[in-house]
Amino acid sequence: MNLDDMILISVDDHVIEPPDMFVGRLPAKYDADAPRLVHREDGTDVWKFRDTVIPNSALNAIAGRPKEEYGLEPQGLDEIRPGCYDVHERIKDMNAGGLLAQMNFPSFPGFAGRLFVTEDVDFSLALVRAYNDWHVEDWCGAYPGRFIPMTIPVIWDAELCAAEVRRNAARGVHSLTFSENPAVMGMPSFHDEFWNPLWTALCDTNTVLSIHIGSSGRITVPAVDSPPDVMITLQPMNIVSAAADLLWSRVLKDFPDIKIALSEGGTGWIPYFLERADKTFDTHATWTMQNFGGKKPSDVFREHFLTCFITDSLGVGLRHEIGIDNITWECDYPHSDSAWPNAPEELWADFSKWNVPDDEINKITYENAMRWYSFDPFAHVAKQDATVGALRRAAEGHDISIRPRSHQVIQPQDKLEQFRLRARAALSNATPNR
């Protein structure tokens, strides 16, 4: 195998929602209250939802932009690549980047749909259903076989959430984005029986609970004066707490068919995590009363958890300590951790460094994603047309050049001040969207 022979399915990318996504999807009585994109005098576009304003921060959509434009300032749709919000342009960008398929997490509603929690339950449910219908029918439905469909949860009601899981599973959706710590959102923790209807629905429909870092809305900032590098460094490792919380919970014991993805969490930390979990079990199970039915925590982890990495050379080297059937790859388009359009080159360099055999490359790049998410792109795309080389040939002439897009130049010191303002909000439990 060479680089052009790889088949790439990314289990973590992001959509910047288009301004017309709610048109015709809400009952008429809610039209005036529907979230809408508002263009402001400073040239930025923001989503307005009643009294809430959600900016589109530049770190969320930097594909094709120079590093000088990275930062946290809001921006307008005309300052980002059309592929961020236009599905037809997204497919062109995917082809240029050699990607067969993506799974796209939401942006402005929050990864767990927390923006749609209102005092009007009927309105909230209408918003969630409208978002999911747009995602499944308009975004994923436009190009069958190119997107793993994923829906947002009815996060405030486990019974309604279970019903929404079943509704979407009936049309081929087997991924639910969810909070890595619902208690932070004011909901019951993973350990509460409140969530039992949801766990049952996930198991019955073979739907993966896809837990993305930052999905509770919490940003890790040790102190208000910490440099942004601290938050950026720690961000992937925030998923460790959720992994431990779920591994030791009753959820895995009471619902043995449940599947959980640790989205954008990386993999290099997992071998030590599993070693530590096994040591904890051997030392303390007599008084903590943990019982995995004769198995070790590391065995149970590999039965239930899917791990996901963007760039993780160490994790590739330790792939057998993690579990070769538990590893998937992510592109993270259009976020700042993404190497698009050169992600295949970056990934291939790690495979070459560790002499990864072809069968293991295939598992990491597409087979594990297909199996875990019950996704078959080859029902729509011939396998010979799905490789990095074939897709890039199909995209010949598509502009992937790096070029400035911002209407204004913001100095680094001003970007740092904007970060500190977000940090203060985070530490006062008023965290804006990532």
Which residues have CB under 8 Å from 334's CB, separation 6+? 13, 14, 16, 60, 61, 62, 63, 64, 80, 81, 83, 84, 340
Residue 334: is the preceding peptide bond cis (ω within 30°)?
yes
On the 0-12 / 13-18 / 19+ scale of CB atoms within 10 A, 425 is: middle
Whether residue 72 is contained in a domain is answered as yes
pLDDT of residue 220: 59
In a domain, 95, yes or no: yes
pLDDT of residue 25: 94
- Is 165 buried (19+), middle (13-18) or exposed (0-12) by CB count in 10 A? buried
Residue 434 lies in a domain: no
Q: How many domains does the chain have?
A: 1
What's the pLDDT score for residue 387? 98
Residue 432 belongs to some domain of the structure: no
Range of the domain at 8: 3-427
Write the secondary structure of 42-66 as one string of H (helix), E (strand) and C (coil). CCCEEEEECCEEEECEHHHCCCCCC
Q: How many CB atoms lie within 10 A of CB 353?
A: 11
Q: Which of 80, 124, 85 is nearest to 104 (CA)?
A: 85
The pLDDT, as a whole number, for residue 53 is 87
Angstrom distances, CA of residue 402 to CA of 70, 91, 327, 405: 13, 18, 31, 9
- Domain membership of residue 252 (yes or no) is yes
Per-position pLDDT tens, the chain of length 434: 999 999 999 999 999 999 999 999 999 999 889 999 999 888 889 999 888 888 877 678 999 999 988 887 778 888 999 999 999 999 999 999 999 999 999 999 998 999 999 999 999 999 999 999 999 999 999 999 999 999 999 999 999 999 999 999 999 999 999 999 898 888 999 999 999 999 999 999 999 999 998 776 555 556 667 788 887 887 777 789 999 999 999 999 999 999 999 999 999 999 999 999 999 999 999 999 999 999 999 999 999 999 999 999 999 999 999 999 999 999 999 999 999 999 999 999 999 999 999 999 999 999 999 999 999 999 999 999 999 999 999 999 999 999 988 887 788 888 888 777 777 766 665 433 33
Contact 330, 264 (CB under 8 A): yes
330, 13 Cβ separation under 8 angstroms: yes
Q: Do residues 12 and 394 touch, judged by C-beta distance below 8 A?
A: no
Q: Residue 433 falls within a domain, yes or no?
A: no
- Is 276 a member of any domain? yes
Predicted local confidence at residue 225, as pLDDT: 74
CB contact at 8 A, 252 and 246: yes
Residue 12 pLDDT? 97
Decide if 371 is inside a domain: yes
Residue 79, classified by CB atoms within 10 Å of its CB into exposed (0-12), middle (13-18) or buried (19+), is: buried
Task: Give the CATH number of the domain where residue 70 resides.
Answer: 3.20.20.140
